[in-house]
Chains A and B, each alone.
Chain A
Amino acid sequence: MKILVFIETDNGDVVASSWEALGKALSLSDDVAALVVGHNVGDVASEAGARGASVVYVVDDASRAEFDLDLVVADTKAALAEAGTNALLAVHTGNGRDLAAAVAADLNAGFLADCLELRQEDGVLVGVRPLYSGNILADVRAASDVQIATLRPRSAEAAANTGASADIVTLQPAAVDSRMQVLEVKHAETGEISLTDANVIVSGGRGVAKDPELGFKLIRELADTLGAAVGASRAAVDAGFIEYKHQVGQTGKVVRPDMYIACGISGAVQHLAGMSSSKIIVAINKDSEAPIFSVANYGIVGDLFEVVPAMNEAFKAKLNKG
């Protein structure tokens, strides 16, 4: 089957987890096309070819500088027609989800959302979806000709850059009027690692309460040493120790890093809902009875104000960052 992969861009750069969707598509089919929509995205289009797409459709226009759902949906439908396929794959970011849901609604198609795995059975995409906040898994397949799926970030290997080259096909921006006026844009500071893409996360909870500023400073220092993102429990966010965008859990972000280091976090089910599929969980908690230890692989029962800086020093020494 031919699969069209939506490669998301932001401010002219690729949203890196898009390469995971491309990698997954390439593992399912030899016939994979990519779609890149944005402004000044020529490099992203060439990279999609270098990473294995055989055809790359590109809509490069000033009107596409910021993600505008109405426009990207129209471009995507045009690209599906141009590619002659009924299968669309994207990564389950906010924008990827919105695009997939909109195309599915317009075409009355099944949307396999936020899949952890994806396989092909006789030309039909079958996804494994988390339901009930990851407490149940189920197989999902579309009962429609058009098949649309999104993949949870960090669920598949990114397509490798082999230096291949693809046919780059420039598409005219679809002729629809924008309904969204962008009045102000604040792009992320460069270098800031997003929680959902992070390989390592160091998180802090209410355990920092006796000196929250110092606690999160120590956590940030450890994160910097490891090139990690900083996470937090809801208790830490609600207490105003750190901004909401760092919250991991049921009503925060769902993450799946290779390593999650929980410092002063008890391990409530709502926190676990966000991080229990991390590959390795490390707990630093002064209470040996804390539930976090029942999901952790490694831990220290101790005071995070002593353990976290000691870990930082040890990592620096051993990783030669001294």
Chain B
Amino acid sequence: MRYLVCVKQTPDTAELPKVNPEEAASGQLSINLVVNPWDEHAIEAALQMSENYGGMAGAITVDGDSAIDALRSALAMGCKDATLVKEEAADANSVATLLAAAVKKLGDVNYVLTGQMTVDGNSGAVPVMLARKLGWPVVTGVAKVIQADEDSVTVERVAGQDRFTVKVPAPAVLSVIKEIGESRYPTFINIRKAARVNIPVWTAADLDVETPAAVVQTENYRKPPARDAHVKLFDNADELVDALLAEKVL
């Protein structure tokens, strides 16, 4: 079977507070970029599935050339191949349209794995949008894969405060959460192999789609208002509690 992981290159979370509005608007960031942390769990899920149910995991991203680094990281963790869709996608709908076209072109994908959200875009919309464009079922909040084969997959899903065991037919999109497992460290051998893997680069034209126009317009990028916090320190719990009760939120 073939598992395809959607990864995105996103800012190192430690440096997110440094993003300024101009950079956010242009998308040209001067800070360190890494694999979106939620997507590391998706990579782990794909590797676990390939070990447990057979087959091979590959990675894909929609981004500029520099995102090759994120694909190499996915290869170093154990993915066997990687594809770059070299397009500046305007919004989640556009990313999903391009990913769906790439999945169709690859042809033999049984399961698409995604993270829960990106730490820059934050919408969490791409997995569901991708599934709808493919006409495949999607399960979000996947905490555990219980059984998978070419016909169907059974997973544990977390939604709000509830947990479900659900089964959907394949092919399917699975959006995973952290409970699926921490991602493994790249091995020395995989890092060396990763450097040698040839990464095909596709554009929208190669995928026989138009680069989708934006359906969401984003403007007026700004910093959130700074917290008006000047900490009042107390020596004992009694005085602190009086101050908190005076806030009248309890």
Which residues of B53-94 have CB atoms within 8 Å of chain A's CB atoms? 91-93
Q: Interface 1/0s, chain A 114-148, versus B by CB < 8 A?
A: 10000000000000011111111111111110000
Nearest-CB distance from B61 to chain A (Å)?
18
Nearest-CB distance from B203 to chain A (Å)?
21
Complex CA gap A3/B240 in Å reads 45
The answer, among A102, A137, A183, A296, for a CB contact under 8 Å with B167, is: A183
Not counting A131-B122, A184-B165, A282-B240, a sample of 6 additional A-B residue pairs whose C-beta atoms are within 8 angstroms of each other reads A109-B215, A111-B125, A135-B16, A136-B21, A137-B222, A319-B250
Complex CA gap A290/B161 in Å reads 32
A270 to chain B: which residues have CB within 8 Å? 13-14
- Of the candidates A199, A282, A298, the one having the most CB atoms from chain B within 10 angstroms of its own CB is A298
Complex CA gap A70/B168 in Å reads 11
Contact (Cβ within 8 A) B217 A141: yes
B151 within 8 A of A: no
A162 to chain B: which residues have CB within 8 Å? none
B138 within 8 A of A: yes
- Of the candidates A70, A101, A106, A276, the one having the most CB atoms from chain B within 10 angstroms of its own CB is A101
Contact (Cβ within 8 A) B231 A101: no
B196 within 8 A of A: no
How many chain A residues touch B (Cβ–Cβ < 8 Å)? 92
A142 to chain B: which residues have CB within 8 Å? 215-217
Q: Interface 1/0s, chain B 207-228, versus A by CB < 8 A?
A: 0000001111111111110010
Which residues of A181-208 have CB atoms within 8 Å of chain B's CB atoms? 181-188, 192, 194, 199-200
Contact (Cβ within 8 A) B125 A136: no
Which residues of A129-178 have CB atoms within 8 Å of chain B's CB atoms? 129-144
A108 to chain B: which residues have CB within 8 Å? 93, 215
Contact (Cβ within 8 A) A273 B93: no
A15 within 8 A of B: yes
B234 within 8 A of A: yes
B124 to chain A: which residues have CB within 8 Å? 97, 101, 113-114
Complex CA gap A15/B214 in Å reads 32
B243 within 8 A of A: yes
Supply 22 A–B pairs (Cβ within 8 Å), ascending by A: A102-B131, A102-B132, A104-B129, A108-B215, A134-B224, A135-B17, A135-B19, A138-B221, A138-B222, A141-B217, A142-B215, A143-B214, A192-B161, A251-B178, A259-B249, A269-B14, A270-B13, A281-B227, A283-B231, A299-B240, A311-B237, A311-B241
Contact (Cβ within 8 A) B216 A112: yes
Identify the closest chain B residue to A17 (Cβ): B160
A137 to chain B: which residues have CB within 8 Å? 221-224
Which residues of A267-285 have CB atoms within 8 Å of chain B's CB atoms? 269-270, 273, 276-277, 279-283
Which residues of A307-322 have CB atoms within 8 Å of chain B's CB atoms? 307, 310-311, 313-315, 318-319
Contact (Cβ within 8 A) A105 B129: yes
The answer, among B128, B167, B168, for a CB contact under 8 Å with A98, is: B128
A250 within 8 A of B: yes
Nearest-CB distance from A119 to chain B (Å)?
12
Contact (Cβ within 8 A) A244 B178: yes
Contact (Cβ within 8 A) A111 B122: no
Q: 3 smallest A-B Cβ distances: which pairs?
A: A188-B161, A310-B237, A258-B249
Complex CA gap A188/B179 in Å reads 18
Contact (Cβ within 8 A) B160 A15: yes
Known interface pairs A101-B129, A298-B244; A136-B223 also in contact (CB < 8 Å): yes
Q: Interface 1/0s, chain B 1-19, versus A by CB < 8 A?
A: 0000000000101101101
Nearest-CB distance from A213 to chain B (Å)?
22
Known interface pairs A110-B91, A111-B93, A226-B250; A139-B16 also in contact (CB < 8 Å): no
Contact (Cβ within 8 A) B229 A294: yes
B205 within 8 A of A: no
